[in-house]
Structure formats: C-alpha cells, structure tokens
Structure 1
Amino acid sequence: MRLLTVVYLTSLFFYSPFFVYADEPEKKPKTDAMLFGHVVSGKEHVAFATIVVEGTTIASAADGTGHFKMTNLPVGKQTVVISAIGYKTLKKEVELRANESVTLYAQLETDNIGIEQVVVSADRNEKSRTHTPTIVNSINPKLFQRTQSVTLSEGLNFSPGLRMENNCQNCGFSQVRMNGLEGPYSQVLINSRPVFSGLAGVYGLELIPANMIERVEVIRGGGSSMYGSNAIAGTINLITKDPIANRFSAAISQAFSGMGQDYEASNDYNIDLNGSLVSDDYKTGLSLFGFHRKRDPLDANGDGFSEMSSIENVTVGSRLFQRISGRGKITLDYFHINESRRGGNKFDLPKHEADITESVMHRINSAAVNFDLLLRDYDKFSAFISMQDVSRDSYYGAEQDLSAYGETGDLTYSAGIQYIRHLDNFLFSPATITSGLESNGSSLTDEKLGYYDPDEDKHYGNTLVADQKMATQAGFIQSEWKIDKLVISTGLRLDHYTIEDKANSTSDIKGDVLSPRVNLLYDVTGFFKFRAGFARGFRAPQIFDEDLHIETSGSRKVLHKNDESLRQESSNSFTASLDFSNSSGPWQYQLLVEGFYTQLINPFANEYGTPDEDGVVIYTRVNAESGAKVHGVNLELNASPSDRLQFQSGFTFQKSTFEEPQEFGETRFFRTPDTYGYLSMNYNPYMLFNVAFTCNYTGPMLVPYFGSRLDKPAEGQLNKSDSFFDIGVKLSYDIRITENVKLQVNGGVKNLFDSFQNDFDTGIDRDPAYIYGPLSPRTIYLGLKIGNL
C-alpha cells in the first residue's frame, strides 16, 4: 500500500506513461549532416575532449590532437556541448543541414580548481556544481596522481570534512570519517547505486584501486532523502571511468615504507593498466582496467608483530556502453577484486601456527546494468539494477587457535527506476521533478568453521555466527524550482525496511522512515552564493562493517554484536554555507565557509564487556540513553593564479559529543580530533615537468587503550594522542615518444618527516586497536607511466 501511494504520487508529475518515447520522431534515413572541429585552450589543443549534441545520446570525442568528426547528425538548430577535465564546459549553437558539413572551433577556458565542473550526486541530475543547492566536492584523477594514491582510501583525505584512519595493527581495517562521524554513517555509492555492502566496507576503501575511478563526488550532511539508510554524515559516490576515445595507459611503481628507520622497510609494488576503445560512429564504447598490488607487512617497533598488514590485490573490470538510438543508451559495468591480506607475526608459517594472525581473502564480483532514455526535450527515464557478491575466507586467532577459521558470504542488490521531468510551470515557477522507486537488499551469512582436535580425538562442526537478511523498498520524489536568483529544492523519501537474523533467533525488525530534505541556493552577486539545508536521516539496526572484523591478541578477542532491543538511529542535519568564487584574468579562486550541525536521536554507542575465561570480550551496540550532536565549520580555499600553479586546501573545526557521559565517563566521541585538514599544491615550471606538494594535518584525539602496559587491561584507559603533519612531495617528468604518446618518470616521498605513531602496543598481548594518526610512516616511491597522458 505504501509503495502504491508513492507510485500514484509520482505518476501525477509524469503526464505520460513510463515507457513511451514521448515526442520521439520516427526513424529517419541518414542525414549526412556532418560536424568537424577542433578543441583548443589558448594556443594548445585539448586532447580527448567530449562533444555531445544536447538533448540526445549522440556523442564523440576529440583525438590526441584535439580534432573531432561527427556524422549523420539531426538537422536544424542544435546545441553542441564541449567538456574536458580541467576546463569550463562550453555550449555552442550550430545550424546543421542535410548533406552539408559545418566546422566548429571550440576555445575552452581553463578551470584548474574545478569551480564549474559537472556533478551528479546532489540530486541525481547532471549540472554544474555552482548551480546545485547542495555543496558537492569532487576528487578527480589529477589529485589521485599528485598524491600518489594507489587506492581510493589514500585520496579521501583531500576533501573537506573527510579523514581516513586505520583501526587495527593486525589487518589494517580502515574507515573514513565525515564531519566527525564514523564510517557507517556515510553511504558509499558506486555510480550512484548503494551496493557497497557492510562486509565490503570493512576493507573496501583500500580494496578499490584509484585507476578504476573517474572521480569521487562527496556530499556532506544528511542525504537520506535521495539515497536511503546510512547517509547521515553524507555520501561518497565513486564514478567509474567512461570510454570516450581510443586511448591507453600503463603504470608501474615501487614504494618503500619505513625508509631510514631501524626496522626493515615494507615493499609496495603496483601495476596499473587502463584502456578504452570506441567505434567510429561512437555508438559503442568499452573501457578496461587492471590493477595488481603486492605489499609486504611492516613491523614499526621491532616486536615481531606487524603494524601494517601484507596485501596482495588483483582487480580487473570494464565498462561497456551501447547507444541504441539517438536518445537511448545502455551501460554495463563489471569488476572483480581478489585480495588477500594478513597481519600478526610469523608470516612464513600457516595461520594457525602463528602467535597472532588476522587474515582475510576477498573475492568480490560487482555488476550493474543501466538504461537511460531521453524524452521530450530534456526529460529522462532511467532503469537500473546493480549487484555485488562478496565471498570472504578469514582467520582471526591467537596462540595457535584451530577454531579461528571462518567463511562469510554477502549478496547485495539495488534495483529501481527514476524519471526526471522538466515543467514550464509547477505551482509558482519552472521546476524539475525527480522521482523514482527502489528496492535494495542484502543477504549475509558468517560461519565459524569446524576443525579436528587430535588431542581430544574430536571433530567440531561449523557454527553459524550471523545469518541476516535485509530488504528495503523505497520511493522518493524531489522538486527543484528556480526563481530569479533563488533555487529551492525539496525532497521526500519513504523507506520500509525488514531485517531478519536467524543466527540470533531475533524476530523480524521492521520500520517505516520518512526522510525529508530541503535545500536552497541564493545567488547573491553571481560569484557570491549562500546555501542552506535541512535533511533527516536514519540508520537501521543491522549488522555494520565493524561487526565483521575481530580484534585479536593473546589476552583477548573482541567481538561486536547488536543489543536485542537496538532501535534505529535517526538524525536531523542542518547546514549553511557562503561560497565565493571568481575569475580575474588568469586567476581563479574559491573560498567556502560551511557550518554544520547534526543531532543524533537514539544514537548508537558501545558497551565494553569484560573478558570471559577464554579471553573473549563483547562490544555491544546499544542506543545511548541520551542524544548526541556533531557541529563545526568546514573551510575550503582553492586558488590558481595560472595554468602552471594550483593551490587547494581544506580545514575542519568540530565537536562530537554525547549529551551524557558514556564509557570512561567521557562525553566526547573517541578517535575524533577537533581539528584536521589538508593542503595540496601543484606547480608546472614548464610544460613537461611537474612538482606536487601535499600535507595532511591530524589534531589530538581521545583513543581507548586496553593493552599489555596496564595493570588491569580489561578496565582500559583513555589516552590523548599527539598531532601529526603528514607532508608529501612528488616530482614527475614527461618524455614525448610520439605526438600522442608520452612516457612519465615520477618519484617522491610520503610523510617526509616521518610523523607517525611512536607508542604502538607490543607483544602477543597487545591491543591491536590502539592505532591512530597517519596511515603509513615515511615512504619513498619511484614510478613509470606510459600512454595518452
């Protein structure tokens, strides 16, 4: 009944059936109308720019010399859109006639700091970020390259309000915090679809290679009205690479972590492969990518136990598009990740013969199909289905524990339809209506494997730890109005979720959540904009990513579980910002000041148990008796005085507190610094030489410690960490092999001054969760890259 109501309300705004090619002309013979041209910026040609006929799926791309050709175009007045990374999008109107050709000269203006880049995450519609009522930050491939980010996790430190952290010495379990909230408060999307499961999220941000990503779009603040559960802190949307031209690249790099220290350095070897093929008529395109990584473990304090785990990763994937008409397009995505990692000690022995081993092997298959159909002039219908299957073998054990082997399986899916309708007048002004239906779900099983004990001559059977199924049906609708200088966006999403956990014999948990969102943008002067917004979000009482990770030592093993009476957590999120951006001659600059306030209702908190006779400790997730709040200010300053120099920075001041004292009598959130930020500077002294400088700052934070240095480890103590400056430098030089192919030689240092934790716990009884600060010590790297750079 609920979804029928949503369907009815949605259909009121369509004014046409879903599957009708509204105003779609009958198929016509070839027109032989042709468009030739070249794309330049100043005196330099722009290679591989994208050229699109607006209102159609007809597209092409410039070649390596900046020239392009398009044939059999629709006749009449057409708007041609030319875009490229690092340049402002240009629109030009042309008159096309049958059997005639037109030459188009496109002069693009540089956009070195991405002021006017096109984004999709705010409301699922493509538009310039300067026109979105919601602030959208984008991390593009150039930043991944400047920071020598091998995986997604390393690049996320360079966006306002985001901070990556490592949570385990043994296996490297990591998470990203947004505006001070833990990782599960952020919704990770792949091509705007929520298929990144809780199991994949345990190590997922370090599983995904940077070379498969076209860009990452980040929205801070509640986004549940468009994307569903777990988007209280915001969304991180991974956009994979699209095939736009015939091109290729291959890269190899070697890094050494811990150089110049008393301990043995860790080798980190990486290979990247990328390529794309597009048919002559640009109706079919295929992109391929491959990634291989092999990293040795790192023992930073000489106790024989790792602080950084060993990693071996092989990833392959592709994206295929087929234009089925002038206004229809099908896109297929697939990638496979095979990764193994291990931490602890005695890596040359089988896992159960080491003193401590935390080891996992992931086999992840992810696939998606998306169908887009343009209707009328600018309307758009989309249908999609995405699935991700994760199979994990694990061992979390200490002191030669034969019972620590496990197997976990997880299938996640997301399917739905969406319709974007442009109306000349709705209520009081022109409007864009976005509406849709979604069905999301997951099925997760986790087993502890049986074993044979020769001392007792006894076989132990498998033990079911978790068997959880979650299904969510949702409908959403949003309307955006533009009235002179004011843009108003209102959205509403209804979610109905059902959670079943057979392993813990709990009855089905059901809930209905109505999530509203309101955002507005006021264009004060054209280059000075004010934004404000409110969103309501929620987290269902499901299994979360940290529940599927076990902290292990010789003295204790930490397990996570939900309290039987755990209720959903809700939030009210408020944001307000002032955004100043302008260009003056060669100068571009942007200053953003954003205030945020998030109120958590029935917030999740941990109750720490005491070790039983087997050393097992239960961390129980409960609803805190009182609420919590997170508030602060994000600052962002970007500037570019010329094409040769770009400067990007961000800094966050924030407080995250419970209303009443929690563990250790403390109201502040643990592992959450009040201040953190980043700096990135890129300089091209001349065309083929590049210098990149980066810095990450992490302020002091409270970190619980339950380790071997305490008289009563079970009681623990609360420590305050130091602050850290992680500074990096990268140099690269391009060598022209042909007009279209370059060889790049690069090298540099991460964490130049070795600003790294110096009080790691030691020995078999250490607390592996007592880890904070930068992800790695001083790291020196060298690399080669060849292709259409």
Structure 2
Amino acid sequence: MISPCAVITPSFRLSFPTFPRGQARSRSVLVHPHHRLFRRRALAVSLLSCVFSASPAWADAATDLDQVVVTATRTAQTQDQALAAITVIAREEIERLQPASLPDLLTGRAGISMANNGGPGKSTSVFLRGTESDHVLVLVDGVKIGSATSGGASLQDIPVEQIERVEIVRGPFSSLYGSEAIGGVIQIFTRRPQGTFTPSASAAVGSENTQRFAAGLSGTSQDESRGGWYVVNAAHENTDGINAYRGTRNFDPDKDGYRNSSLALQGGMRFSERWDADLRAFRAEGHNEYDGSVNNEADTVQQVVGARVRYVPSERAEFTASVGTSADLSENFLDGEYSSTFDTRRELGSLQADVDVASGLLTLGFDWLGDDVDSNTDYERDRRINRGVFGQWQQAFGTQSLQASVRRDDDSQFGGKTTGSVLWGWDFTDELRLGASYGTAFKAPTFNELYFPGYGNPELGPENSRSVELSLRGEHGWGTWSLNAFETKIDDLIAFDASLGDMGGPNNIDRARIRGAEAVAGVTWWDWNLRTSLTWLDPVNDGDNASHGNVLPRRAKQSGRIDADRRFGRFSAGASVTGAGERYDNLTNTTRLAGYGLADFRVGFAITDGWSVQATLRNAFDKRYETAALYNQPGRTWLLTVRYQPVVR
C-alpha cells in the first residue's frame, strides 16, 4: 500500500505569499482567504524546485505549520491545512535530541505508548491511541513494512541516522491505506539531498561501548526545470547493550549486544515540466542478542525498494504510478546454532490520480499488495494478495474544510472489507479551528494467527473499529497548541480462545473501548523553544470475559514529554523530560508496572559552520523502570558526537 506522493516529497519548508484566515501574510499554501486547499500544480513545481535548488529552511517541527506533509491525505498539504492530528519530527530535531533509537525518538509523543524488551535493538511495541501494537501502519518512503507473520514493524532496526523526517498521523486511516491503520499511520522518510554537492559525516562514542558512525553524500542539479538528484548514506552502530532479562526463567546475566549496519541509495530525475521519476533503496542488517531458551540470537534484515513515475499534464491533474517491495527477514539461533527462519516479503503497486474538480480535489487510486512467507515452519498457506480501490474528496467552503474518503479492500484470505472516514474543520476565528471526525478501520489477521501449526485458526476474520474525535487547534504569535478528544471501539478483537482444539487458539471473541485526550503545544519563551505532548488514556477490555473492565496491557493511562532548547551563540543547551503512569503487563491486571519519569540533558557547540560537537546524558538520575515485565531498561548513559554537516546557502 503505497503513498505515491510521499515517495518524493522533500522535507523542506515552503512559504508562499497567500491570504490565510483573512490576513495577507506568508504562512500557508492557500488559494484565497480561508481556503484550505491549494493548487497542486504550483505546489508540485515548488517541491521540485526545493529538491533541485536544495536550499532548506530548517524550522522547528512543533511550531512550523508551513511544513509539507503527505501521510494524512496521500496528497501534499501544509501541516496547517491538515484536518487530522499530526506530529512531525524533522531532521533538525533528530540531530538536536540525539536519540538512541527510533523508539526513543517516539517515546512520549502524543498518543504513543512504548514497550521495549530489554534495551537497544530489542523487540519494541508501539501502541498508538491505546490500540494494539499491530494496529499501526508503518511506511518507509511510502512503502509498507512489517512482518506478515508476527504483525509488527521492527522500528528498532531503522537507524535514526538514516531518517530525514517522521510523520505520525493519529486516528483511523484504513479508508486510505487499508489494513492495520486502526490507531494511525507512522511514515518514515529517509535522508534527502541538501545542496548541489553536500558531504556529511558523524562519529559517536558512548556508554556500554557504544559506537555510531555515519557518512553520506548528496547532490542536486542547479537547473530547476530539469535535472536529477541523488543521496548515498551509510550508517553503523555497535553496542554491548545491557542485561535484557532479569527474570529467573532463561536466566543469563550477561550483556545482550546489538549491531546494525545500513545503506540508503536514492536518485531522481525531472525529465521535463510534466514528467519526473525516482528510485529508492534502503537496507539495514542487524545482529541481536537476547535471553531465551529457544532462541537467544538473531540476524535480521529490513529492506525497502521503491520506484515512482509522475505525470502532470496540466494544472488541474496529476497521475502517479508506484511500485515497491519490502522485506522483514530473521534467522534465529540458540547459542550459535541455527534454529529457525521467518522471512516476510511484500510486493506493492499503486496507481493514483489527483484531479481538481470545481473547487475541490478528487483523488482516486488502486493499491495491490502481495505477502509471501518463507520459513522452516510449515504454514498451510504462505501467500496472500490484497487489492484495494479508494476515493477521497477534499474541499473548502469559506471558513470550513472537508475531507471524506472511502475504500474497498478484497483480501484473498478473508474476503472484502469497506471502510470510510469524514473529517471536518471550521476556522471560526483567525487563530482557532474546531474539528470533528468519524472513521472506520480494520486489521487483517496475521499468518501466525491464521496458519501457525498447532495454533492458527484459518476461520479468523478482520478486527474492526469505529472512532469519533473532537479537536480544537490554536495558532498565535507566541506559539501553537491543540487539544484532541477521541473514542475508539474495536470489535472482533483476536484473542486466545481456550475452547478451540486441544491447546486453544486465536479467535474473534474480544472487544475494546478506548477513550482518550491529547494536548500538544509549541511555544517560544525568552528564546527557549518549548514543546509539550500530554496523553490521557482509558483503554478498557470490553469483552465478555473474566477481564471485562480491566485496563488493556502495556498502555499507560498517562504519558507525556517536554522538550526545552535554546541557543547561546555557538553554544546550545537542552533538556527532555519523559514520563508514563502505571500500567499492567497482563489482561488480568495482576502484574503492575510502576510509573516513571526520566530526564535527559544535552549541550552542543558549533566549532565552525560545518563542524559541531554534542554531548547527551540520558536517564540522568539513573532511574530503574520497566515498560515490559522483567525486562530491564538502560540506566544512566552518555553519548558524545562529532558531526560534519556543511551549511547549505
């Protein structure tokens, strides 16, 4: 399931002379006062101009509403125009925060709860708005990733040095993307070109014998009307890690290390004013050590390849064709001896047409997805195909905006499924917008749930959800803020059913009711850049079982994050505070995990315009905590980084 426009959208700030919300100022890509849509032709030309001229204007993602985003609509729009709840994490923020991993970068963001099984490189689950960990769709440059056997995406294996930008869209989006987008969509964009010829490099050392290296080279043509661009970026990380597991079962009190090497190759060409194309490839190879009686080591591969061709015949139409493939590969070992293989390969294709009709934008598309499983475990079926057709309408009516979409998926395993969503926004003042939305979504069962020998149930159907949301958003001279309240009901949840067979198995027997609220703010105060995300959740088991009314496991009812940064000439300083309330590790709510709060500190110094050095101290007060029962988390750690990144003028 490919988001074609996402494949080429650069993460540069765009600013056009417009008249948003009744004021003549340069802020958003709009057509006339209060119009939330924009002329796609002008935006496409501007995007390509950014790629080929490559003069990025970095801005803070928490407060910059001019950023172009694509995940919420599968079309390019500014963050200010988006009706969905969106969080954007730009490269500048990644370099400033120096996170240990992608899961660390996501921790504490609005709507997100994390569960990690023992430190760097270990299995990490992401719960978005209280839904299940496999209820979030993950894309890399528009290509769907993840395991068709386990159902999750290995976010811990995507190095942060390869990431240009992350877009997190919260809410049901199966009507645009199909299966899995019950809680939302996380899209990861790999590095983008910065200038006509730009080398970059970084080296870091830290606690637990951590070593991180990265080097890249990128360039673009100076001719804005035609020409090409390219990016080559390599990264390597190695750490001794920590003792992942503290339980008595499978007890092995050694450190469990992690190693990851990755390479990204990208290139594109603009042939004329009407035609352009690009090709992207990313591969990360990892080796992970952990504690277990069946397996205690794994060699992993995450791989994504995508290609896109776009044709713009006029100012009113745009057509895109995309193909891609992704792989989630794992070979498992016990004390160095091979034990198992679980390889998932996905092939994807997409056609999309975006046409200006009257005063609105009509999008029509077709997606094709094939899943293949290769394993030493004998599955009854090891391939399935999903075909999806979708349509979307975006239009502004004075101060009001509308986004409506519908999709029909036909899966070779469980049959057909129709989903839809409607989002509405009203700018009732120049600074305030009221929003409301309703959407349905679904999650297809995994190969393990369907066909794993002695366990799977081939009669399973998809899990289904319906969600409602109210939002209020403000934009002022001092900053921006948003409030979102939502409720999601999930039916036919797949859960263990003891009545199936001799050993039981998965069945569509459960329900869940999740209510929540999110508060996000970005403020500049006394030259400090402050960003805050707070989440309140009430995720309840609503099924007819012994756990009815209990809190769903591994979701904290309260979580949040505060980031504060300031520059002092060539110096910079900052701190982050992340925290989560108590949670339970099981359905019966008998295993309680205590809440926690963590503090990180960082300082930096720009030696020259291209060279900089940064020191980061994480979990500064050496807090002991767990996000999954019996699995340790890193204590106090430090990282020292030297970076070369020429300033592009």
Q: Please tell me the TM-score bracket, short chain as reference.
A: 0.7 to 0.9
Pick one of 526, 530, 550 that aligns with 2:434.
530
| Secondary structure of residue in 2 paired with 1:578 | strand
In structure 1, C-alpha distance between the alignment counterparts of 2:485 and 2:589, rounded to whole Å: 33
Q: Name the counterpart of 1:22.
A: none
* Alignment-mate amino acid for residue 596 of structure 1: F
For residues 198-249 of structure 1, the C-alpha deviation after alignment (integer angstroms, 9 at most, x for no partner) is 4697562011111222211111110000011000000001122222412122
Q: Name the counterpart of 2:420.
A: 516
Pick one of 714, 727, 730 that aligns with 2:599.
727
| Secondary structure of residue in 1 paired with 2:555 | coil
Q: CA deviation at 1:281?
A: 2.5
Task: Check the 8 A contact 2:145/2:327 in 1, yes or no.
Answer: no
Pick one of 385, 395, 398 that aligns with 1:484.
398
Task: Check the 8 A contact 2:450/2:459 in 1, yes or no.
Answer: no
| Secondary structure of residue in 2 paired with 1:155 | helix
| Secondary structure of residue in 1 paired with 2:45 | coil
More contact order relative to length (CA 8 Å, sep ≥ 6)? 2
Pick one of 614, 627, 647 that aligns with 1:746.
614
Task: Check the 8 A contact 1:192/1:237 in 2, yes or no.
Answer: yes
In structure 2, C-alpha distance between the alignment counterparts of 1:53 and 1:717, rounded to whole Å: 54
* Alignment-mate amino acid for residue 642 of structure 2: L
* Alignment-mate amino acid for residue 735 of structure 1: I
C-alpha change, 1:115 and 1:200, in structure 2 (3 Å) is: farther
Q: CA deviation at 1:310?
A: 1.3
Q: Name the counterpart of 1:604.
A: 494
Q: Name the counterpart of 1:623.
A: 508
In structure 2, C-alpha distance between the alignment counterparts of 1:277 and 1:83, rounded to whole Å: 13
| Secondary structure of residue in 1 paired with 2:230 | strand
* Alignment-mate amino acid for residue 622 of structure 1: N
Query: Aligned residues: percent identity?
Result: 18
Pick one of 569, 582, 592 that aligns with 1:700.
582
Q: Aligned runs of 1:31-42 on 2, under 5 Å?
A: none
* Alignment-mate amino acid for residue 726 of structure 1: L
Q: CA deviation at 1:566?
A: 2.2
Q: Does 1:228 align with 2:112?
A: no
| Secondary structure of residue in 1 paired with 2:93 | helix
In structure 2, C-alpha distance between the alignment counterparts of 1:200 and 1:537, rounded to whole Å: 20
Q: Name the counterpart of 1:689.
A: 571
Pick one of 770, 774, 789 that aligns with 2:629.
770
Q: Name the counterpart of 2:257.
A: 310
Q: Name the counterpart of 1:15.
A: none
Task: Check the 8 A contact 1:682/1:691 in 2, yes or no.
Answer: yes
Q: CA deviation at 1:543?
A: 2.8
Pick one of 133, 136, 140 that aligns with 1:186.
136
Q: Aligned runs of 1:74-153 on 2, under 5 Å?
A: 84-86=57-59, 113-153=63-103
Structure 1 residue runs without a partner (length 5+): 1-51, 70-81, 88-110, 257-265, 346-354, 425-429, 449-463, 500-509, 549-558, 613-617, 706-715, 761-768
Q: CA deviation at 1:479?
A: 0.8
* Alignment-mate amino acid for residue 344 of structure 2: D
For residues 253-301 of structure 1, the C-alpha deviation after alignment (integer angstroms, 9 at most, x for no partner) is 1121xxxxxxxxx222111222202234251110111110111131276
The RMSD of aligned alpha carbons is: 3.2
Q: Name the counterpart of 1:669.
A: 552
Q: Name the counterpart of 1:290.
A: 234
Q: Aligned runs of 1:269-668 on 2, under 5 Å?
A: 269-281=211-223, 283-299=227-243, 305=252, 309-344=256-291, 357-395=295-333, 405-424=339-358, 430-448=359-377, 464=378, 467-499=381-413, 510-543=414-447, 561-583=455-477, 587=478, 589-607=479-497, 620-625=505-510, 627-641=511-525, 644-660=527-543, 662=545, 667-668=550-551
Task: Check the 8 A contact 1:743/1:787 in 2, yes or no.
Answer: yes
Task: Check the 8 A contact 1:222/1:233 in 2, yes or no.
Answer: yes
Q: Name the counterpart of 2:209.
A: 267
In structure 2, C-alpha distance between the alignment counterparts of 1:292 and 1:117, rounded to whole Å: 30
Structure 2 residue runs without a partner (length 5+): 1-40
Q: CA deviation at 1:667?
A: 2.7
The runs of at least 4 aligned residues of structure 1 exceeding 3 Å deviation read 52-63, 167-171, 195-203, 300-304, 306-309, 544-548, 559-565, 606-610, 660-666
* Alignment-mate amino acid for residue 697 of structure 1: G
In structure 1, C-alpha distance between the alignment counterparts of 2:138 and 2:57, rounded to whole Å: 26
Q: CA deviation at 1:467?
A: 4.5
In structure 2, C-alpha distance between the alignment counterparts of 1:315 and 1:444, rounded to whole Å: 23
Q: Name the counterpart of 2:187.
A: 237
In structure 2, C-alpha distance between the alignment counterparts of 1:164 and 1:311, rounded to whole Å: 19
For residues 314-357 of structure 1, the C-alpha deviation after alignment (integer angstroms, 9 at most, x for no partner) is 10011101001112210100011111111138xxxxxxxxx774
Q: CA deviation at 1:692?
A: 1.7
* Alignment-mate amino acid for residue 279 of structure 1: S
| Secondary structure of residue in 1 paired with 2:92 | helix
Q: CA deviation at 1:156?
A: 1.1
Task: Check the 8 A contact 1:254/1:270 in 2, yes or no.
Answer: yes
| Secondary structure of residue in 2 paired with 1:145 | helix
In structure 2, C-alpha distance between the alignment counterparts of 1:276 and 1:340, rounded to whole Å: 28
* Alignment-mate amino acid for residue 513 of structure 2: K
C-alpha change, 1:693 and 1:195, in structure 2 (3 Å) is: same
Q: Name the counterpart of 1:38.
A: none
Q: CA deviation at 1:609?
A: 11
For residues 51-87 of structure 1, the C-alpha deviation after alignment (integer angstroms, 9 at most, x for no partner) is x975537844599xxxx79xxxxxxxxxxxx862318
* Alignment-mate amino acid for residue 435 of structure 1: L
C-alpha change, 1:308 and 1:471, in structure 2 (3 Å) is: farther
In structure 2, C-alpha distance between the alignment counterparts of 1:490 and 1:684, rounded to whole Å: 43
Q: Name the counterpart of 2:24.
A: none
Task: Check the 8 A contact 2:121/2:156 in 1, yes or no.
Answer: no
Q: CA deviation at 1:182?
A: 2.3
Task: Check the 8 A contact 1:749/1:780 in 2, yes or no.
Answer: yes
Q: Name the counterpart of 2:561.
A: 678
Q: Name the counterpart of 1:29.
A: none
Task: Check the 8 A contact 1:441/1:471 in 2, yes or no.
Answer: yes
* Alignment-mate amino acid for residue 757 of structure 1: Y
In structure 2, C-alpha distance between the alignment counterparts of 1:465 and 1:56, rounded to whole Å: 49
Task: Check the 8 A contact 2:173/2:182 in 1, yes or no.
Answer: yes
Aligned length: 600
| Secondary structure of residue in 1 paired with 2:629 | coil
In structure 2, C-alpha distance between the alignment counterparts of 1:602 and 1:572, rounded to whole Å: 12
C-alpha change, 1:171 and 1:728, in structure 2 (3 Å) is: closer
Q: CA deviation at 1:606?
A: 3.3
Q: CA deviation at 1:115?
A: 2.6
Task: Check the 8 A contact 1:318/1:334 in 2, yes or no.
Answer: yes
C-alpha change, 1:196 and 1:203, in structure 2 (3 Å) is: closer
C-alpha change, 1:746 and 1:469, in structure 2 (3 Å) is: same
For residues 698-744 of structure 1, the C-alpha deviation after alignment (integer angstroms, 9 at most, x for no partner) is 11011239xxxxxxxxxx982211111111001110111xxxx5211
C-alpha change, 1:55 and 1:276, in structure 2 (3 Å) is: closer
Q: Name the counterpart of 1:79.
A: none
C-alpha change, 1:560 and 1:319, in structure 2 (3 Å) is: farther
Q: Name the counterpart of 1:102.
A: none
| Secondary structure of residue in 1 paired with 2:103 | helix
For residues 586-636 of structure 1, the C-alpha deviation after alignment (integer angstroms, 9 at most, x for no partner) is x3x1121100110101112235899x9xxxxx78332225x2211110111
* Alignment-mate amino acid for residue 770 of structure 1: A
Task: Check the 8 A contact 2:58/2:92 in 1, yes or no.
Answer: no
| Secondary structure of residue in 2 paired with 1:624 | strand
Q: CA deviation at 1:579?
A: 0.4
Task: Check the 8 A contact 1:654/1:675 in 2, yes or no.
Answer: yes
Q: Name the counterpart of 2:29.
A: none
TM-score under structure 1 length normalisation = 0.71
Q: CA deviation at 1:746?
A: 1.1
In structure 1, C-alpha distance between the alignment counterparts of 2:448 and 2:488, rounded to whole Å: 21
Task: Check the 8 A contact 1:169/1:771 in 2, yes or no.
Answer: no
